[in-house]
Structures are given as C-alpha cells and as structure tokens.
Amino acid sequence: MDGDSFCGEDDNFDWGSEDEREIENYGLSSSSSLTVPGAEATASSAEASSSVGSSGSKLIDHFVGMGFPEKMVAEAIQENGEENTDLILETLLKCSARSSASSSGSKLIDHFIGMGFDAEMVAKAIQENGEGNTDTILETLLTYSAIAKSEPKQGNTLVFLSRMGYTVEEASIAMERCGPDATIAELTDFICAAQMAKAADASFPEEKPKLKLFDDNYPKHKKRSYYEYDKWKKKQRLRLEKTMLQGDDEMIRLPNPMIGFGVPTDPAIVTRRTLPEAAIGPPYFYYENVALAPKGVWSTISRFLYDVEPEFVDSKYFCAAARKRGYVHNLPIQNRFPLLPLPPHTVHEALPLTKKWWPSWDTRTKLNCLQTCIGSAKLTDRIRKAIEDYEGDPPLSVQKFVLDECRKWNLVWVGRNKVAPLEPDEVEMLLGFPRNHTRGGGISRTDRYKSLGNSFQVDTVAYHLSVLKDLFPGGINLLSLFSGIGGAEVALHRLGIRLKNVVSVEISEVNRNIMRCWWEQTNQTGNLIDIVDVQQLNADRLEQLMSSFGGFDLVIGGSPCNNLAGSNRHHRDGLEGKESSLFFDFCRILDLVKCIMTRN
DNA sequence: CTCAGAATGAGTGTAGCG
DNA sequence: CGCTACACTCATTCTGAG
C-alpha cells in the first residue's frame, strides 16, 4: 500500500555514507545537549539508548519491545553490530516499511496497542476500516479515545505528527523510541533521521527528484518523501544540531527595539540579507504569528520555513497600538514604503475625543495589544467609583489600580472619571481596516472583537509587502491561508497591487462572509475562491487550482496563535497545540506550491 | 440557542539595582 | 553577574440573562 517512494528497491545501502554517520551521531548529540525544550524527555531518551547495548539479548528485547519481529531484529544486529543502535533501528525501519504491506492482522493490533490504545478498541477499529488503511484506523481510534478521554497526550501527539505530514507508522515508532514524554522536536528529528536513512537508498544523481511526489497518491498518505524535502530536512537537522551544541546562544532572541529590518520612522541599519537557498522563491511566502510564544517555538517555525530568520516587529511603530509579532518571509527588504496616509501614531491622534478626559497621571501614549476580549462595563464602573471620590488626582494607590486595569484592558478615557473599552470600529481603524469592515451581515459584537483581535495589523504587513508592487505591476495570484477577515488582501489592495486570483482558506463562516463582502464592495476585478479548511487543500486541489491560472506569486498566512498566546490560561500548549499545530499545514501547503511551481 | 460578563495565572522578557 | 520586581500577552470556560 505505501507508496514509499523514497525507499528504493536498492538493497545495497551504503551504511558508511556521510548521511548515515550524521544520523549515527545524531542520537547522541540530541540526547546529550538538548536543553530546551523538554529536558525530561531528553533524559529518558538518553537513558533508553544507554540501557541498550549492554548485552545482545537485552538489545534484542529492546527492539522487539518496540514492535519489531525478533528475527528481523537479530538480522539487523548482525548486519550493523551491537554498538550502533541507531543504525540497527534504521535497518529495522527500512525492513518493516517494506514488509508493512504484508503485515498480519495481529501485528497490526499489536502496533496500535503499542501506541497506547485499548486492545478491544483497536480490534473494533480494524474491523471497521479493514487492515489496509492504517490512517483511517488511527483516525477511528483517535475518535474513540477522544470520546473515552483516554491517553489524550499520545493521541494529540499522533494527530500532530500526522498533520505535519508524517505517517502513522513513522510517528508511532518515533514515539516508542523517544519515550512518552518526548517533545515534538525530538520526535520529528528522530523521524527525519529515519527518513534520511531511507532516502539515501535512492540513488543520488537524479536532477528532477520531486516528480515522484505526483505519480502516486501523495495526499492520501501525506508522506513528504521526496529528494528535496529530505535535503531540506537535512539542513534543518544540521542547524538544529548546531543550535543544540551551542546551547542557548543560538536561541532566537527578540530584538529591542522590535523593529525588524526597519520601520518607516526608523529606517533599518540592515538593508540586505542573504536568504538560505531553499527559501528563495517562487513563490514568495509570508508567515506571521505572535512574537511572545513559548520558548523554542520560533526556532521551530524558522527551522520549518527554510531557516529564514524571523523578522520581529511591534506594530506600535506603525499605529497607536502595540502588536508584537514575528514574520518569516522571503521577500526583498529593500525599498519598502508605508501605506499612505500614515495612520495616527498616538492614542490622542487616533482618538481625539479622549484627549479632553485623559488625566495627566495616565502617561500612556500607545495602547497595548488589541486582543479578542474587551473589558466589561462592571470594570469601568468600578474604576469610576474608585476615582470619583477625590477632588483632584486620586492617591497613588488608586492611580496604580486604575492604570493597571486600563493597560490590561486597553481602556480609554471617554468622560469625566469614565473609561471605556474600544469600540469595534475603533479597533478596525487601529488595525488599518476600513470602517465597518466587520460590521453587519449577522456578526455579533463579540465576534467582531474576536475576528479583529486575531487579525493582521494592515499597515505593518503592507509595509513588508510593499516591495511586491514593482515586482508584479500586473497584479498577483495569492494563496491566503488562515485568511481571517482578509488582512493580507486589504493590505495588498491598499498598496494598489491588483489581486488577480485569490485562493482564500478560512474556517470561520463569518470571516468568509466579511471577506466576500469586502471583495464585492471594493469592486475587485480578480477572482476569489473560498476554501473552508486548510486540511482540504491537498496536492490534487492545489494542482487543479494552479493549473487554471499558473501558480501563486505569494503564499501568506498567520496560523492560529491560540496555543502560543500568553493570554491563554488553559491550553498554551505550544506548536503542538490543537489549533497552533496548523502551522504545519502552512508548511505542507507551501512545500506543495513550491514543488508544483518548480515542476512547471 | 446566542450573547455578554466574569473568573481563570503562567510564561516570558526586561529594567533596575547592588 | 544575579537577583527582584514589574509589565505584558492575536484566550478559554463557565454562567446567567434573554
């Protein structure tokens, strides 16, 4: 069943190749020097690898315990020697990939049980889906376990890895090998090493390697198994190794001031940069997310986006509200220009009516980040009551209370002793959207705040995208992922860049309506295609779309920040969180677009 | 059912200071 | 350099009113 295009028929695998040696060393370096994230998992994985090799039989047990047949293990050990467990594992992976098509039902059951699912559940799932399709079996199992609330962590990890494009088999083996507490980074690196071992099977000199992707059913198996991908992963891994060896020095640090490669008011010192070769378009891409994500997240994002260094920018240099975001893109950075007219840069300029009521002891000139929730009426009432007892300035303690709340909720002064949250249209204006962009059409006030809070700051993004105007005088074809209320589209439109064909992927119906509305109101001459779910966007669909208008010039999107954002008390799970892991769909789709573009 | 209000801190980075 | 205090954060979940 498995296409296994990277696992060639050639049995004469060169175990001494350079790649292999890197893999060989990799386990050691990763377990000895990975400090963040997940020191626990590292410890357990180091323990696992040191516990084997003490005796031959123990070694066999080890691999048998991972689900490999004893005979296969024995042969692999004979072939590679006892010392090198990593090489043994590669051999086993290779062999089991080959024999997976003929795997027996009981082996399959064991396989899923080994993943932590209940035996009865597994049997049922296999019966339901047949033995052939492990993917659907897994989905069924995940559904069961989601219902049963059993093993949510493992289930999530598997879903996550599968979303990244790995097969269930690869993922589950990695999970077994790295232990239950392994971080996603460790798991992906493990899988990567295994894939590279397999990729080395394919002879190297081919010049048009990616074509294999399209001859078998890629989207069905989601396997990212082509030469360029492996090359890419190799670079990523080398970089990761380097970062781990050098410790925290290589961790991505936020710039201070957060102006990226420059802002209109503070031109950059850096005007040139050298992009990694793999990052160079077409297409151009532009990825956005919150700057203050948990540690390690931006390293991973950068690593998955061709090692491009993120550009961290605070939108307070573009408008009257802060918005600290990281942008990973391969756009030129010379000759940027801002949208005109320049938006107001202070609260007083943005909201002139507040100036009259603004007390001298509130020294704010900028608002904090515009979020998805607003302060309540009760809070503003408490603040009024706290202040109105005093003739002049309230005591410092009261001032502090009021200021803290004002900063936390972005309250502004709208009357004597009266503060209030921003109105939705004020948020629209601050973010660079046309007035009433999100108003009407059946959207509630709460939803407006939510959609706006999740959006781009248009002036900031437009500044970065402005370089496209000269590059594409005739307009661009745009693939907009996680479009939301259309921040990217609005930015390009305001830059005067014609939108020829826009494929917009957005799961929220109200947001799609907002976008469609804007599209029609602004008399666009191009073509807008809606897609609901990024996960529907597979190779077939992309090829079909791209063949009709000849590829995308720009792939843009900010994937969900839910599990990265500091405001999230409940599920700040990092990139492997339920929503935030959609980042890997951005990567997957960008890779596909890149592939299709280079082929044509 | 929708909608709005209220309660729910941790994680991270930074400025200041000895 | 380490320490401390402080500031800030594209949110989720529950509850009650209508």
Å from A257 (CA) to C6 (C1')? Answer: 19
Per-residue flag: A571 CB under 7 A of strand B: no
Please identify which residue in the block is written with the tokens 């063949």: A547
Half-sphere exposure (CA, 13 Å, Cβ side) for A288?
Answer: 28
pLDDT at position A87, please?
73
- Is the pLDDT at A509 greater than 60, yes or no? yes
- Assess whether A36 (CB) lies less than 7 A from strand B: no
- For strand C, is any atom closer than 7 Å to the CB of A499? no
Q: What is the per-residue pLDDT for A225?
A: 36
What pLDDT shows up at residue A340? 95
Q: Cβ–Cβ contacts within 10 Å for residue A406, how many?
A: 21
Residues 355-384 of A with CB under 7 A from strand C: 368-369, 371-373
**How does DSSP assign A546-562, residue by residue?**
HHHHT--SEEEEE---T
A115: confidence class by pLDDT, cuts 50, 70, 90: low
Q: Can you tell me the mean pLDDT for A552-565?
A: 97
**Locus of tokens 């940069």:** A273
Cβ of A453 < 7 Å from strand C?
A: yes
- State how far Cα A173 lies from the chain centre: 23
What is the mean pLDDT of the segment spanning A125-151? 59
**What digits encode the pLDDT tens for the residues A510-521?**
999 999 999 999
Task: Give the pLDDT confidence score for residue A8 in this predicted structure.
Answer: 33
Q: Give the residue nearest to nucleotide B6 (CA to C1').
A: A376
Distance A570 CA to C13 C1' (A): 9
Q: What pLDDT, on a 0 to 100 scale, did the predictor assign at position A351?
A: 97
Locus of tokens 């292999």: A20
Q: Can you tell me the distance from the alpha carbon of A583 to that of A164, in angstroms, rounded to the nearest whole number?
A: 9
| Beta bridge partners of residue A477, listed in sequence order | A501
Distances (CA, A) of A10 to A199, A207, A256, A574: 11, 19, 53, 40
In this structure, is the CB of residue A374 within 7 Å of any atom belonging to strand B? yes
Mean pLDDT score, A270-289? 92
Q: Write down the pLDDT at residue A13.
A: 37
d(CA A123, CA A120): 5
What integer pLDDT is reported at residue A551 of this predicted model? Answer: 95
A248 pLDDT above the threshold of 60? no
A485 beta carbon to strand C: under 7 Å? no
pLDDT band at A458 (very low <50, low <70, confident <90, very high): very high
Q: Is the pLDDT of residue A468 over 80?
A: yes
Say yes or no to pLDDT of A574 above 90: yes
Predicted local confidence at residue A245, as pLDDT: 41
Q: Give the closest nucleotide to A257 (alpha carbon vs C1').
A: B14
Whether the CB of A567 is less than 7 Å away from nucleic strand C comes out as: yes
Instruction: Between A203 and A560, name the one with better pLDDT.
Output: A560
Q: Which two tokens stand for residue A156?
A: 């999530």
Is residue A142's pLDDT more than 70? Answer: no
Residue A53, pLDDT above cutoff 60: no
- Strand B close to A568 by CB, under 7 A: yes
Non-local (6+) Cβ contacts of A195 within 8 A are: A6, A170, A225, A230, A233
- Say yes or no: Cβ of A377 under 7 A from any atom of strand B: yes
Rounded to the nearest 10°, the torsion over CA A291, A293, A295, A301 is -70
Strand C proximity: list residues 282-311 of A with CB under 7 Å: 288-292
CB of A584 closer than 8 Å to CB of A222: no
Q: Are A458 and A325 in contact (CB under 8 A)?
A: no
pTM score of the predicted model: 0.68
Sign of the CA dihedral running A416, A421, A425, A431: positive
Chain centroid to CA A49: 30
Measure A453 CA to C14 C1' (Å): 22
DSSP symbols for A146-215: HHHT-SHHHHHHHHHHHHTT--HHHHHHHHHHH-TT--HHHHHHHHHHHHHHHHTTS-TT-S-GGGHHHH
pLDDT at A189 over 60: yes
Rg (CA), chain A: 27
Q: Is the distance from CB of A26 to CB of A233 less than 8 angstroms?
A: no
Helix or strand (DSSP H, E) at A140: helix A134-148
At residue A205, the pLDDT reads: 33
- Positive or negative, the Cα torsion across A462, A256, A244, A164? negative
Q: Which nucleotide is nearest to A296 (CA to C1')?
A: B12
Contact flag, residue A41 CB and nucleic strand C, below 7 A: no
Rounded CA–C1' distance between A255 and C1, in angstroms: 22
Spatial separation of the C-alpha atoms in residues A551 and A209, rounded to whole Å: 20
- Interatomic distance A148 CA / C13 C1' (Å): 21
Q: How far apart are CA A237 and CA A297, in angstroms?
A: 16
Return the SS3 of A333.
Answer: coil
Hey, what amino acid is at A46?
A
Average the pLDDT over A120-141 and give the result. 68
| DSSP-based three-state secondary structure for A501 | strand
Q: At A84, which amino acid appears?
A: N
* pLDDT at A297 exceeding the cut of 60: yes
Model pLDDT, residue A59:
73
Verify if strand B has an atom below 7 Å from the CB of A444.
Answer: yes
The gap from C-alpha A332 to its chain's centroid, in whole angstroms, comes to 22
Which of A89-93, A264-268, A436-440 is least confident? Answer: A89-93
Residue-averaged pLDDT of chain A: 77
CA–CA separation, A7 vs A9, rounded Å?
Answer: 7
pLDDT at A91 over 60: yes
A562 is near strand C: CB distance < 7 Å: yes
Cα atoms found within 13 Å of the Cα of residue A285, Cβ hemisphere only: 28
Residue that wins the pLDDT comparison between A371 and A181: A371
Distance from residue A288 (CA) to nucleotide B7 (C1'), in Å? Answer: 31
Give the integer Cα–Cα distance in Å for A47 and A496: 59
Q: CA(A249)–C1'(B6) in Å?
A: 42
Closest protein residue to C9 (Cα–C1'): A566
> What percentage of residues in chain A have a pLDDT greater than 90?
54
pLDDT of residue A136: 65
Amino acid A222 CA to nucleotide C12 C1' distance, rounded Å: 32
Task: List Cα–Cα distances, A64 to A15, A119, A333, in angstroms.
Answer: 22, 19, 54
- What mean pLDDT is predicted for residues A113-132? 68
pLDDT bracket for residue A214 (50, 70, 90):
very low
Least reliable range by pLDDT among A49-53, A251-255, A301-305: A49-53
Which whole number is the average pLDDT over A24-49?
Answer: 32
Average pLDDT rounded to a whole number, residues A115-120: 64
- Which one-letter amino acid corresponds to residue A4? D
CA distance A67 to A169: 11
Whether the pLDDT of residue A177 is over 80: the answer is: no
Q: Helix, strand or coil for residue A332?
A: coil
Q: Can you give the pLDDT at residue A206?
A: 32
What interhelical angle do A56-65 and A70-80 show, nearest 10? Answer: 130
Which among A533, A537, A432 has a CA at the least distance from the CA of A482?
Answer: A533
> Which nucleotide, over all strands, has the C1' atom closest to the CA of A364?
C7
Phi/psi for A176 (5° steps) reads: -65, -40
Over range A411-424, report the average pLDDT: 96
- Give the pLDDT confidence score for residue A175 in this predicted structure: 74
Q: Is residue A341 reached through a cis peptide bond, with omega within 30 degrees of 0 on the bond before it? A: yes
**pLDDT tens string A315-350:** 999 999 999 999 999 999 999 999 999 999 999 999
Strand partners, A325: A290, A313
Of the two residues A426 and A35, the one the predictor is more confident about is A426
- Give strand B nucleotides closer than 7 A to any protein Cβ: 2-15
Residue A596 (CA) to nucleotide C7 (C1'), in angstroms, measures: 47
Integer Cα distance of A34 and A242 in angstroms: 10
- At residue A512, the pLDDT reads 96
Residue that has been written with the tokens 């300029």 in this structure: A349
